[in-house]
Amino acid sequence: MKKTFSIAIGSDHAGFTYKEAIKAMLLAEGHTVRDFGTHSTERCDYPDFCFPVARAVAAGEVERGIVLGGSGNGEANAANRVRGVRCGLCWNEQVAIWSRSHNDANCLSIGERTVTQDEALKIVRVWLVTEFEGGRHIPRIQKLDSMA
């Protein structure tokens, strides 16, 4: 049986279309989704939506978080300012695998202007199923956590 997750999701206006598509896919696959907005393509500021996603992850209210914008850079930066969040900006499936297997990323950032919608859905799927390798990566994550 496929594992399902509780997932927080949020985007600014530039990531709204993919947010909606990803949310629909996640719900169809049995995941629980908390949508922190935005709820339209009207111009807005990504921190207003990314911080609540990251805070929900850090507080243990959800297992994973996904943030989206035009490039994904600002969204990842915002999420990574929340202690306990490891947000990886991913632009293909291999980077998504590394973000989980090497960094135990609990948050994913995608730029709507950088990948196709089909690629974004594939990135999310592989990111969700990839396990953390542990081992040599654990001390690195501990260093990140201790320096935050």
Strand arrangement, sheet containing 107-111: 32-35, 6-11, 64-69, 107-111, 87-89
How far is the C-alpha of 43 from the C-alpha of 122, rounded, in Å?
A: 27
Distance of CA 83 to the CA centre of its chain: 15
DSSP structure string for 113-137: TTS-HHHHHHHHHHHHHPPP--GGG
Residue pair 91/68 in contact (Cβ under 8 Å)? The answer is: no
How far is the C-alpha of 106 from the C-alpha of 128, rounded, in Å?
A: 9
Catalytic sites, residue numbers:
75, 102
